Structure 1
Amino acid sequence: MNFYAIRAIYLFEMARTWRTLLQSIVSPVISTSLYFVVFGAAIGSRISEINGVSYGAFIVPGLIMLSLLTQSISNASFGIYFPKFVGTIYELLSAPVSYLEIVVAYVGAAATKSTLLGLIILATASLFVPLHIEHPVWMVAFLLLTAITFSLFGFIIGIWAGNFEQLQLVPLLVVTPLTFLGGAFYSIDMLPPLWQKVSLFNPVVYLVSGFRWSFFGISDVNIGISLGMTLVFLAICLVTIWWIFRTGWRIKA
């Protein structure tokens, strides 16, 4: 394992975050705070509690997960797409760096940035509502697992995208709507029986439910199933990336 190469790529990606601090960190935190204020004030005044948890606190895991998913995908997809766009990816592929080291560096940097953002949003939310995390170890585990999984997914999108429009297509038209419909701001138990069953086909439901369980000990889906579904998606992403580098799809063309 070439740790020097991993460190070089990782630090380069992290340096880009510090150069664009306003866009990378401040903007998502402000957007999430506005979500919290609007939803917490408008809906919270009509829904006092959900499963014994105040509505303001109930939506915190959903807000963190919303930012975590979108930022993980965005950071990883742009990180690998930009070298493709400017042509420097060929220098990277010809360097004495393995495919595994490339993935570890880019995905590691994207996961680090999104995890840091998630923790900042958690600290910001604690200024609005009192929070008590029942399972802090599981909370960190879900945070890291989700960040890594969707950073891998974003890496795949970055390889697939042929232009900047395609780069934003999946996060805006697929991931964000699925997050809103995945119980980020409500419990799926509040839905009619038919829509409860339909919601179970939404993979984000399992992520939000498991993450919420780590906070309050309540979930819409069994915690074991939530963890299992996340690991399955992680495995799918890993296999897909292995196939991409094995075949050179969208990289060597």
Structure 2
Amino acid sequence: MNVRAILAIYQFEMARTARTIFQSIISPVISTSLYFIVFGAAIGSRITEVEGVSYGAFIVPGLTMLSLLTQSISNAAFGIYFPRFVGTIFEVLSAPVSYLEIVIGYVGAAATKSMMVGVIILLTAGLFVDLEIRHPVWMAVFFVLTAVTFALLGFIIGIWAKNFEQLQFVPLLIVTPLAFLGGSFYSIRMLPEFWQTVTLLNPVVYLISGFRWSFYGQADVDVGLSLAMTLFFLFLCLAIIWRIFKTGYRLKT
């Protein structure tokens, strides 16, 4: 394992964050805080509690996960797409660096940046509501697994995309709607039985449910199933990336 190569890629990507701190850190935190204020104040005044938890506190895990998903994808997608766009990716591919080390460097940096945003959002939410974390270890497990998994997805999107429009297509038109419909702001148990069944087809439901369980001990689906679905998606992304590097899909042309 070429640790020096991994650190070089990782530090380069993290340095880019420092140069664009408003876009990378401050902007998503402000956006999520506005979601929290608007939904917490507007809806929270009408829905005081959800399953024994104040509505303001109930939506914190969902909002954190929403930001974590979108930021992980965005950071990883842009991180690999820009070298492809300007042609510097060929320097990385021709260097004595394995594909695994390239993925660890880019995905590790993207996941780190998204987790920084997630932690800041949790700390900010603590100023508005009383947060309770019953299972901190499992909270950290879901937090890290989600960040890494969706950073891998973003890496795939960054290789697949031919232009900046395609780069934004999946995060904006697929992932964000799935997150909103995945129980970020409500429990799926509040839905009619038919729509509860339909909602279970949304993979984001399992991520948000498992993450919320680590806070309040309540989940829409079994926590073991949530963990299994997260790991399944993680290995699926790894398999796709392995195939991409094996075939050179959109990397060697």
Q: State the TM-score, normalized to the length of structure 1.
A: 0.99
- Secondary structure of the residue aligned to 1:59 is helix
Q: How many residues align?
A: 253
Q: Where does residue 170 of structure 1 map in the other structure?
A: 170
Q: Where does residue 146 of structure 2 map in the other structure?
A: 146
Q: Where does residue 40 of structure 1 map in the other structure?
A: 40
Amino acid aligned to 2:182: G
**CA deviation map 1:68-126 (0-9, x unaligned):** 00000000000000000000001110010000000000000000011111000000000
Q: Where does residue 112 of structure 2 map in the other structure?
A: 112
Q: Where does residue 60 of structure 2 map in the other structure?
A: 60
Q: Where does residue 228 of structure 1 map in the other structure?
A: 228
Separation in 2 of the partners of 1:18 and 1:136? Answer: 29
Q: Where does residue 101 of structure 1 map in the other structure?
A: 101
- Secondary structure of the residue aligned to 2:22 is helix
Is residue 92 of structure 1 aligned with residue 97 of structure 2? Answer: no
How big is the shift at 1:146? 0.2
Aligned CA RMSD, in angstroms, stands at 0.4
Separation in 1 of the partners of 2:65 and 2:202? Answer: 14
Runs of 5+ unmatched residues, structure 2: none
Q: Which runs of 4+ in 1 moved over 3 A?
A: none
Separation in 2 of the partners of 1:143 and 1:117? Answer: 12
Amino acid aligned to 1:81: Y
Amino acid aligned to 2:139: M
Separation in 2 of the partners of 1:115 and 1:28? Answer: 12
Q: Where does residue 77 of structure 1 map in the other structure?
A: 77
Q: Where does residue 121 of structure 1 map in the other structure?
A: 121
Trace 1:156-195 onto structure 2 (pairs within 5 A): 156-195=156-195
Separation in 2 of the partners of 1:194 and 1:249? Answer: 41
How big is the shift at 1:11? 0.2
- Secondary structure of the residue aligned to 1:96 is coil
Separation in 2 of the partners of 1:218 and 1:4? Answer: 43
Separation in 1 of the partners of 2:178 and 2:226? Answer: 16
Amino acid aligned to 1:150: F
**CA deviation map 1:215-245 (0-9, x unaligned):** 0000000000000000000010000000000
- Secondary structure of the residue aligned to 2:33 is helix
Separation in 2 of the partners of 1:132 and 1:178? Answer: 26
Separation in 2 of the partners of 1:192 and 1:251? Answer: 47
How big is the shift at 1:198? 0.3
Separation in 1 of the partners of 2:159 and 2:220? Answer: 34
Q: Where does residue 27 of structure 1 map in the other structure?
A: 27
Amino acid aligned to 1:94: S
Separation in 1 of the partners of 2:20 and 2:214? Answer: 32
Separation in 2 of the partners of 1:75 and 1:161? Answer: 14
**CA deviation map 1:141-165 (0-9, x unaligned):** 1100000000000000000000000
Separation in 2 of the partners of 1:123 and 1:18? Answer: 20
